[in-house]
Amino acid sequence: MSKYINLSYRDALKSAIREALKNDERVFLMGEDVGHYGGAFAVSKGLLQEFGPERIMDVPLSESGFTGSGIGAALAGMKPIVEVMTVNFSLLAMDQIINNAATLLHMSGGQLNVPVVIRMGCGIGRQLAAQHSHSWEPFYAHVPGLIVLSVGTHEDARGMLLSALESPDPVILFEYTSMLNLEKEIPEDAGAVDIRQAKVLKQGKDLSLITYGTGVYKCLEAADILAGEGMDVEVIDLRVLRPMDEETFLTSITKTHRALVVEDAWRSVSISSEVAARIMEKAFYELDAPVERLCGVEVPIPYPKHLEDASVPQVYDIVEKVTKMLRP
C-alpha cells in the first residue's frame, strides 16, 4: 500500500508542472504573471527561481498573441504549457485555439500535430463577478480536434497535465480556482492518469450522478448525505469532456436506470445536454425516469456571495433533486 499525503489542489497542480519540467526539457510554462509574480493564483510560485526564465516565461497581456506563440512552439517541436489566467480571457485566444490548434492536423493532411497544453483557471465561487466566472467547458467541448479535460479531483490535478503532455494533439485543461486551497489526501506516488475515460468515483445502484469539475466533490458529498437516507447513488466524474467517454455513464445507467447530470455551466447547449441526449439515444430502454439536470442559472454570474451561490447547483440542491427523483 502506498502512503497518502495531504495536498492542496494548488500544490497538486504545481507538483505536476514541476515534474513535467523535470522530465522533459522541451516542456516550458508560459503565461501572464506565471514567473515573477508566481502566477495569478500562485500555482507557479517558486518555479521561476527553480527553472529560470527560459522555461517559466512571463508574457504580455495578449491572449491571442501568446497562445498563438505556444501553438507555434508546439509545431516547432516544443511541449509548451500555456496558462491562460482565466477561462474568461481565453475568448480572446479562441481564434488561435480553434482555427489553428484544433484544425492544423486536418488542414495539413495529417502532417502537423499540435502538442500544446493550454491550462485555464475556471469556474465561479470567488466573487469575481460576471466577467471572471465563466464556465466555458461546453464551448471547447464542441470543437473537433481538441481534447478537453476537466480537473475535478486532486488526483487529476496531480496527474492530468502529465498525461496531456504525452498527447500529440492540443489539450485544454480546465482547472477550478475555487478549489485551489482545498486539501485532500492523495497517494504519495500519484502521477500520470488516464485521460480517455470517465471515472466512477462512488458505486451505487439507485441513480447515476454524472458531473465534472466543481460538481465532483459536491456530488460526492451529496451522495454521502443521501446514503444516510438510504439512497445509494453512483457518482461519475466525466473528466474527459471531449472526446466524451459515454460508455462509462451508459454502463452505469444500465445498472441504476436513472440519471442526474450536474454542472455549473448554463443549461442550454451544455455538457449536460450532450450527456442527456446520448443517454436518450443509446440507453432509452434502460431509463426508468426522465434524465434530469442541475445546471447554472442562465444569468450573468452575480457578484454578491449569496447570489453567486444560488446561481450554480449546491450540495443541498443535489440532495433535494435526487430525493425527489427517487422518492416522488
Partner 1 sequence: MIEFQMPSLGADMEDGTLVEWRKKPGDIIRRGDIIADVDTQKGLIEIEVFDEGILEKHLVMEGQKVPVGTVLALIKPLKEAKNVEVEKTEGEVPEKREELEIPHPIIEKKPMISREIEEKTEMPRIKISPLAKRIAEENKIDYSKIKGTGPEGSIVKGDIEKLMISMPQEAEVTEPEVAEPEVAEPEVKPQAPAWDALRMAIASSMSKSNKEIPHYYLEKRMNMSKAMDWLKERNRERPIQKRLLPVAILIKAVAKALDEVPDLNAVWEGSLQRKNEINIGFVVSLRSGGIVLPAILNADTKPVDEIMEILNDLIPRARAFKLRSSELGQSTFTITSIGEGGADKIFGLIYPPQVGIVGFGEISEQPVAEGGMLGIKPVIDVTLAADHRATDGLVGSRFLAALNKYLQNPDNL
Cis peptide preceding 168, ω within 30 of 0: no
Nearest alpha carbon to residue 151 among 84, 215, 220:
215
Judged by CB under 8 A, the residue of 53, 290, 300, 304 near partner 1 is 290
Verify whether residue 132 is a known catalytic residue: yes
Judged by CB under 8 A, the residue of 289, 297, 299, 307 near partner 1 is 289
Rounded to a whole number of angstroms, the minimum distance from the CB of residue 325 to partner 1 is 7
Does position 257 interact with partner 1 (CB under 8 A)? The reply is: yes
Give one word for 52, left, alpha or beta, with left for phi > 0 and alpha for psi -120 to 50: left
Does position 202 interact with partner 1 (CB under 8 A)? The reply is: no
Q: Residue 185: phi, psi to the nearest 5?
A: -90, 130
Does position 318 interact with partner 1 (CB under 8 A)? The reply is: no
Rounded to a whole number of angstroms, the minimum distance from the CB of residue 231 to partner 1 is 14
CA distance 42 to 60: 18
**Torsion of the alpha carbons at 264, 268, 272 and 273, rounded to the nearest 10:** 180
Does position 288 interact with partner 1 (CB under 8 A)? The reply is: yes
Q: What angle do CA 155, 252, 167 make, to 5 degrees?
A: 40
Does position 228 interact with partner 1 (CB under 8 A)? The reply is: no
Amino acid at 81: I
Q: Any idea what DSSP says for residue 147?
A: E
Judged by CB under 8 A, the residue of 110, 284, 298, 306 near partner 1 is 284
Rounded to a whole number of angstroms, the minimum distance from the CB of residue 283 to partner 1 is 9
Residue of 32, 132, 137, 308 marked catalytic: 132
Number of other residues whose CB lies within 10 A of the CB of residue 13: 28
Does position 282 interact with partner 1 (CB under 8 A)? The reply is: no
106 or 324, CB closer to partner 1?
324
Judged by CB under 8 A, the residue of 286, 310, 314, 323 near partner 1 is 286
Does position 230 interact with partner 1 (CB under 8 A)? The reply is: no
The residue to which cell 450540495 is assigned = 315
3-state SS, residue 48: helix
Rounded to a whole number of angstroms, the minimum distance from the CB of residue 254 to partner 1 is 10
**Pairing label, strands 79-84, 117-122:** parallel
Judged by CB under 8 A, the residue of 54, 77, 111, 285 near partner 1 is 285
Rounded to a whole number of angstroms, the minimum distance from the CB of residue 30 to partner 1 is 50
Does position 191 interact with partner 1 (CB under 8 A)? The reply is: no
Rounded to a whole number of angstroms, the minimum distance from the CB of residue 288 to partner 1 is 4
CA distance 315 to 224: 10
Does position 325 interact with partner 1 (CB under 8 A)? The reply is: yes
Question: Contact region for partner 1 (CB under 8 A) — 56-64, 151-159, 178-186, 280-288?
Answer: 280-288
Does position 13 interact with partner 1 (CB under 8 A)? The reply is: no
* Cβ partners under 8 Å of residue 111, min gap 6: none
The residue to which cell 460538481 is assigned = 215
Q: Which positions touch partner 1 (CB under 8 A)? A: 257, 284-290, 324-325, 328
Active site residues: 63, 132
